[in-house]
Amino acid sequence: MKKYFVLLIVINLSIYAQESIEIKLNGTLFFDSNIAFEHSSKIDIKDENNNTVIKKSPLLAGLLSFALPGAGEFYSESYLKSALFVAAEVAAITFGLIYDKKGDEQTISFQNYANAHWDVARYARWTIKNAKSINANVDPNSFNIFLVGGKVNWSELNRLENAIGNYYSHRLAPYGDQQYYEMIGKYPQFNVGWDDFGNEDTPFNYGDPLTNNFIYYSKERGKANDFYNVASTAVIIVVVNHVLSAVDAAWTASSFNKKINISSDIEKIELGYKKIYSPRINFQYYF
């Protein structure tokens, strides 16, 4: 009877463990039962093995960083690089705004200086008076430069400039245009319009030096251009930062997928005639 009972225990264990079990019995009911019980308690069967790899989408990471540098790196859990790209973005935008504002302020400053010291009417009067000395074939009286009230007829002035040619290499842009403020401080033909040059009776010489106001104004306008150049460089840095961050975020997400792996399964443990199911998570990180 004792042997039959032990045999039943062994058969029962084989059914529940679902595998071949080699048990060395000594023929004693008490000891044989303990051996069988201890062996069954160590059985580890994975009923369900679901390997789940947590992946980061390189495409999503790239799009996030292209929209906002550092966002893709943050999504890919690379927090240091995320902070660096954000810092670069903030710095570039800050410098861009500061120097763009400096450029605007400097532009207002040099334009006010030009309005106070350069006069189109002075320039027009000198041009009419000295037209023949520059080009003998030009009759300045055939040009209706001044309208009623002393206002300059811009189209007629441009026509006269075109007729004179030579020294008059440019046509004065309309008042207030960006080209207007550039020309009067860039080309020597407009030197005569500055109030420290003289008047229409001042004789013309090709070698006349530029006036102090012309030179000062040109430098002031140059400062504004320098400020705007810094602002433009900052804009370029912002664009480059977006592109670099997008590329780096995609690469970082791809690298992340190669480093980390998480798998899960359910472990079944049999204690005698009891079955215990325990979820288990395996975490692997590759350097």
Q: Average pLDDT in the 63-92 region?
A: 94
Predicted pLDDT at 23: 47
Residue 211 lies in a domain: no
From the centroid of its chain, how far is CA 24?
Answer: 73
Residue 107 lies in a domain: no
pLDDT at 91 over 90: yes
Residue 134 lies in a domain: yes
Predicted pLDDT at 200: 82
Domain boundary among 147, 164, 193: 193
Residue 183 lies in a domain: yes
Got the DSSP string for 77-97? T-HHHHHHHHHHHHHHHHHHH
How far apart CA 51 and CA 91 sit, in angstroms, is 44
Q: Which pLDDT band, with edges at 50, 70 and 90, does 44 fall under?
A: very low
Fill in the amino acid letter for 270. Answer: E
Number of C-alpha atoms within 13 angstroms, CB side, residue 93? 10
Residue 74 lies in a domain: no
DSSP secondary-structure letter at 191? Answer: G
Closest CA to 212 of 190, 226, 200, 195: 195
Closest CA to 174 of 95, 120, 232, 131: 120
Written in H, E and C, the secondary structure of 32-61 is HHHHHHHHHHCCCEEEEEEEECCCCCHHHH
Predicted pLDDT at 184: 96
Give me the domain span that covers residue 14: 2-49+266-285
| Helix, coil or strand: residue 274 | strand
Q: Average pLDDT in the 231-260 region?
A: 91
Count of the separate structural domains present in the chain: 2
DSSP secondary-structure letter at 17? Answer: H
* Phi and psi at residue 277, to the nearest 5°: -105, 130
In this structure, are residues 175 and 182 in contact, taking their beta carbons and an 8 Å threshold?
no
pLDDT in tens, 166-190: 889 999 999 999 999 999 999 999 9
pLDDT at 34 over 70: no
pLDDT at 161 over 60: yes
Give the global pTM.
Answer: 0.66
Residue 135 lies in a domain: yes
Domain boundary among 193, 223, 244: 193
* Phi and psi at residue 268, to the nearest 5°: -110, 125
In this structure, are residues 56 and 282 in contact, taking their beta carbons and an 8 Å threshold?
no
Domain boundary among 193, 216, 243: 193
Residue 202 lies in a domain: no
Q: Which pLDDT band, with edges at 50, 70 and 90, does 12 fall under?
A: very low
Number of C-alpha atoms within 13 angstroms, CB side, residue 32? 18
Residue 133 lies in a domain: yes
How far apart CA 226 and CA 100 sit, in angstroms, is 10
How far separated are the first and last CA of the chain, in Å rounded? 60
Largest CA distance in the chain: 143
Q: Average pLDDT in the 26-36 region?
A: 54
pLDDT at 111 over 90: yes
Predicted pLDDT at 214: 96
pLDDT in tens, 112-157: 999 999 999 999 999 999 998 889 999 998 999 999 888 999 999 9
pLDDT in tens, 250-285: 999 988 887 755 555 566 666 555 666 666 555 455
